[in-house]
Amino acid sequence: MTINEAVAFDGAKPVMTSPTAGLNLSDSVYERLLRERIIFLGTQVDDDIANKLCAQILLLSAEDPTRDISLYINSPGGSVTAGMAIYDTMQLVECDISTYGLGLAASMGQFLLTAGAPGKRYALPHARIMMHQPSAGIGGSAADIAIQAEQFAHTKRELNELQAHHTGKSIEQVTADADRDRWFTAAEALEYGFIDSVITHARQANGTAN
């Protein structure tokens, strides 16, 4: 079965249905984009969104592991664990995932933008990109606080190491730069190494844009 088909069950008998059956206009648009191997992250990153995006990536990769997937990001960020699920799935699949930042790519949104395939990470001219350290809500008993603080330090270190890997910066520089909210224009994000090109037209997304 392909993404253009769906199955419903009438008793014990499977029935093929339209992929847009029961969908509203907004859902139908996203379904049509999915057929073109385009995924859109336009909300905060949470477990529900992560599960949907991971499933879409896995499906598209299974259908054709040789064709790129395009991931458009307009997100203020969100859950680190949910974002890492998306990140790991992006690295897992065989096909390249091109990332496009538009509007706002902040926090985990910035991290996922930077995690795209080398040479295929783009931003639109007026996109804003923001990097910072993960935040932590720590509470409970003294022992619980100590455990949570240890886990937070591990997460912070892991994210900084991955940011350094994808940008070519040193871990020390990334750690210092991310200590507070740091904002970038698209051009500044290109200079820092978050993206590979700033594009104004879709035809530029082929590795040749400046």
**Annotated catalytic residue, options 70, 75, 107, 197:** 107
Closest CA to 109 of 11, 35, 43: 43
Query: Token pair of 123, please?
Result: 């931003």
Instruction: Report the distance separating Cα 194 and Cα 210, nearest Å.
Output: 14
Q: Quick check: is 70 catalytic?
A: no
Q: Quick check: is 132 catalytic?
A: yes
- Reduced to 3 states (helix: H, G, I; strand: E, B; else coil), residue 170 is coil
96 phi and psi, to 5 degrees? -70, 145
Please name the amino acid found at residue 166.
H
Which residue do the tokens 């997100």 mark? 75
Tell me how far the alpha carbon of residue 54 is from its chain's centroid: 10
**Annotated catalytic residue, options 132, 154, 170, 197:** 132
Residues identified as active-site: 107, 132
